[in-house]
Amino acid sequence: MVDFCQNMKEKIKILSAEIENFAISNLQELENFRIKFIGTKGSIKELFNDLKSVPNEEKKEIGQLMNGLRMLAEDKYNQFKSNLEEANNKAELIDFSRPGEDFSVGSHHPISLVRAEIIAIFNRIGYTVSEGPEIEDDWHNFSALNFPPEHPARDMQDTFFIEKGENEMALRTHTSSVQVRVMENQQPPIRTISPGRVYRNEAISARAHCFFHQVEGLYIDKNVSFADLKQTLLHFAQEMFGEKAQIRLRPSYFPFTEPSAEVDVSCSICNSKGCNVCKYTGWLEILGCGMVDPNVLEAAGIDSKVYTGFAFGMGIERITQLKYKVNDLRLYSENDIRFLKQFTSVL
C-alpha cells in the first residue's frame, strides 16, 4: 500500500509538471489540454478513480494533492481560455482587409496660396522677397513716403496707433513702409517684393477689414521707365489670371509716386462681357502703382538724379477674390472649415 500511495504521489508530480509545461497557443491546443487533463476521460479523472483504493489514513493528504492538481489544470485552462478569447475579439476588431481610412491633411489658406503664387511670379523675373516690421514708426509708414503732416491717412480713423507723440508707433497701414527700409539698407539696383499684413482702423464688413494683406513691389535702377512698369504689371496679370488677361491704367494719386496710376485687369469672371462682380464695366481694380517720387528716393538716401524706379502695391485679398470668387472679406479670418476645405485640392 505504501508503494501504491508513493506511486500516486509520483503520478501527481509528473502530471502537474506536464500541466505546467503544456503549451497552449490556440483554441485547438486549449481543447487538447482540456481533453487530456480535465475532461471526463482525462488523466485527472482517472487518478480520482484511483483515490478509492487509497487507505483512509492517506486519503486526506493524497486528496489534497489531487485537488491542488485539479485546480492547477482548471486555472490554467480558464486563464488561457480568456486570453485566447480576448485576442480573438481584438482580431475581430481589426479587419485587415478593410480599405484604409482617409485622414485629413488640412489645406493651405487661400491667402497663403495666392501670396505664394505672387511671390513665385515675381521670383521668376528676378525679384527678391523682403520683409519689415508690422509695428512701424511714423518715418517709415508716412514721412519718408512723402506724406505731408496733415495728410488724412495719418488720421486716427485709419491708423491703429500704439504710441502717440514724439516716439509715435503704429501698426503699419501698408507695406510701402518696407520699400523705405529696403532703400535705406541697399543701393540700386533694387528689385524686390514685400508681402505682409497691414492694419487699418475700419469697421469690419464684407468689403473692409481691420487687417488684410498686401504685396509691395519696388524696382530701382538707372533708366527705369513707366513702360517697364506697365510691361511688368501686364506680365503679372497674365501669369496670375491667364494669358488673355489685359490691363488698363488710370491716372491716380499717391504721395509716394509721381506719376501714379491705378490698374484694372480685364474681368476673368465674365470675359469682360460685364457681370455684377465687375459692375458691368468688364474691368476690376487690382493695384496702385507709379514712378517712385524723387522725394522718396532722396529721403531714403538714393540719388534721384542717377536713379529712377517704379513701385506698386496690391491687396492679396483682392487678387484672391478675383481668382477664387470669394466675395466676403470676413471669410478669410473666420476659420470656417466649410470655406477653408474648398482649397484642399489647390496646389
User: Which residue, 312 or 332, has its beta carbon nearer to ligand DAH?
Assistant: 312
Burial of residue 177 (CB within 10 Å: 0-12, 13-18, 19+) is buried
- Terminal Cα-to-Cα distance of the chain (whole angstroms): 92
- Output 76 or 174, the one with its CB closest to ligand DAH: 174
For residue 288, the minimal CB distance to ligand DAH (Å) is 3
d(CA 32, CA 24): 9
Is residue 188 within 8 Å of 174, Cβ to Cβ?
Answer: no
Residue closest to ligand DAH, measured at CB: 313
Please give the grid coordinates belonging to residue 36: 487530456
- Cβ atoms of 80 and 73 within 8 Å: the answer is no
Distances (CA, A) of 256 to 18, 143, 160, 248: 97, 10, 21, 21
Residue whose CB is less far from ligand DAH, 74 or 262: 262
Measured distance CA(30)–CA(24) in Å, rounded: 6
Rounded Cα distance, 288 and 261, in Å: 6
Interface contacts to ligand DAH, rule CB under 6 A: 174, 176, 216, 254, 257, 288-290, 311-313
**Measured from the CB of residue 290, what is the shortest distance to ligand DAH in angstroms?**
5
140 vs 177: CA distance, rounded Å: 5
Closest CB 292 distance from ligand DAH, rounded Å:
7
Q: Which is nearer to ligand DAH, 188 or 313 (CB)?
A: 313
What minimum distance in Å lies between the beta carbon of 225 and ligand DAH?
Answer: 15
Nearest-approach distance from CB 217 to ligand DAH, in angstroms: 7
- Taking the least distance from each CB to ligand DAH, the nearer of 42 and 313 is 313
Do the bridges between strand 247-254 and strand 211-221 make them parallel or antiparallel, or are there none, so unpaired? unpaired
Specify the residue, 76 or 181, whose C-beta has the smaller distance to ligand DAH. Answer: 181
Least distance from ligand DAH to the Cβ atom of residue 100, Å: 48
